Amino acid sequence: MDSDGYISKQPNKTGFSQFCQSESVLKDDVIRLLKSMGLEVKVEAITAEEQNRRKVTSVNNGALDIISRKTTYKIGFSAFDCPFRLPRKTERWAVPKFKESHLIKNITEVDKVLMRCLTVDSIDKLYACGNNWTLTHNTATGARSALDATATRRMNLVRNISENLVKPLIRKWMAYNAEFLEEEEVVRVTNAEYVPVRRDDLEGRIDLDITISTAEDNAAKSQELSFLLQTLGPNEDPAIRREIMADIMDLMRMPDQAKRMREYQPQTDPKKEQAEKLELERMALENENLKATIQDRLARANENVIDARLKENKAAAEAAKARKLESEADMTDLKFLKSDEGFDHMEKIDLEDRKHKQRLIEKLTEARANMEQLQYQQRFGDKQLGVLR
């Protein structure tokens, strides 16, 4: 607005500003933005020829300088806040006064067609409508309130008449009829219900229950039940669907159809029943076959485990035999090597030397013991020297 915006230099008490733009897309975006903020927008289009005719600046060599080649759009609006930042423009701006209502130019009657009412989740129930972002609201709520108030007053009147006029008249009329009845008679209440009535019961001490409803109430309830019926899934119990349909028929004043609907029992097709039975038997056989297959595979798995263990044990035994044979072969090779290299004879000589040394050590030990014995006897004056005791 500081560059392409304009505000009159004259005292401006309406805050009316203008935005000039020749780009069509940017112009449309600015208009949409301003209208979305609830501002009233005025657009003036000035063609290039009109601009050149208004703004002739110079004539060079008899030729007119072309000032503009595009149509310029002047977008006028009055904003809630000052749209400028330049001091020379902000000084001219003033807070405008806005209209809080819209004028209805005309009302055109159209044919009756199906419509859908809208209600938004807000306190004032307002929403923007149309290209001009006009705030509006659904009139269905107000119309429904008025109709509900009218229906409520009518229902109150009917209930008052029912309690204070109809019920006393019926009691009085039944008391009069008691004079022409026997002591006990059977009275048909419905097409299938019969009640025994005594004369004493018709003396005015009767409880009457009168149900009052209007066609609009029944239609509204029927519509709600129909919507509920549509929300039922295909897997729901068919009895629930029949009960809802019977309630709708009661509201539509069709008691016979409602009774037939409640008493309806679907007849099973013998062929279909037989097919379902065969299907169940087939599934049972498949289940048994599957169980047998599982048991067989488990048994085979156990056998495989046992076979694997047996093979491992056999392999271990064969490995032990192989190690024994290798040890025996090593011992044989060692003996042959010793015999071939003379190690066997040397070992025998070494063994004899060790035995001879052992015998010398034993004799030396024995002689030392005898000498100690002689020294002991001589010390203690024993005359039998050399005699062991």
For the chain, 389 residues long, the average pLDDT of each consecutive 10-residue run is 75 72 80 80 78 57 57 80 79 72 80 76 74 71 63 77 79 72 70 72 66 75 83 79 87 84 81 86 91 90 88 88 85 72 69 85 84 77 59
The architecture of the domain spanning 5-99 is Roll (3.10)
Give me the pLDDT at residue 147, please: 65
**Cα–Cα dist 41/213, whole Å:** 53
Residues 78 and 15: beta-carbon distance below 8 Å? yes
Whose tokens are 């405008």? That residue is 96
Which residue spans of the chain are classified as CATH 3.10.28?
5-99
**Interior angle at CA 154, CA 153 and CA 159, nearest 5:** 100
**Cα–Cα dist 206/209, whole Å:** 10
**Cα–Cα dist 222/213, whole Å:** 13
Using DSSP, state whether 196 is helix, strand or coil: strand
**Cα–Cα dist 127/60, whole Å:** 57
Q: How many CB atoms lie within 10 A of CB 197?
A: 19
Going by C-alpha positions, the residue among 310, 164, 13 that lies closest to residue 302 is 310
CA separation, residue 210 to residues 82, 170, 176, 191, 238 (Å): 68, 11, 20, 19, 32
**Cα–Cα dist 218/240, whole Å:** 20
The gap from C-alpha 158 to its chain's centroid, in whole angstroms, comes to: 48
Give me the pLDDT at residue 294, please: 92
Q: How many residues does the chain have?
A: 389
Q: Where are the alpha helices (DSSP H) in the chain?
A: 24-36, 48-54, 87-90, 140-161, 167-177, 215-231, 238-251, 255-263, 270-341, 343-379
Give me the pLDDT at residue 68, please: 65
Residues 138 and 117: beta-carbon distance below 8 Å? yes
What 8-state DSSP symbol labels residue 371? H
Residues 221 and 251: beta-carbon distance below 8 Å? yes
Going by C-alpha positions, the residue among 202, 212, 111, 93 that lies closest to residue 157 is 212
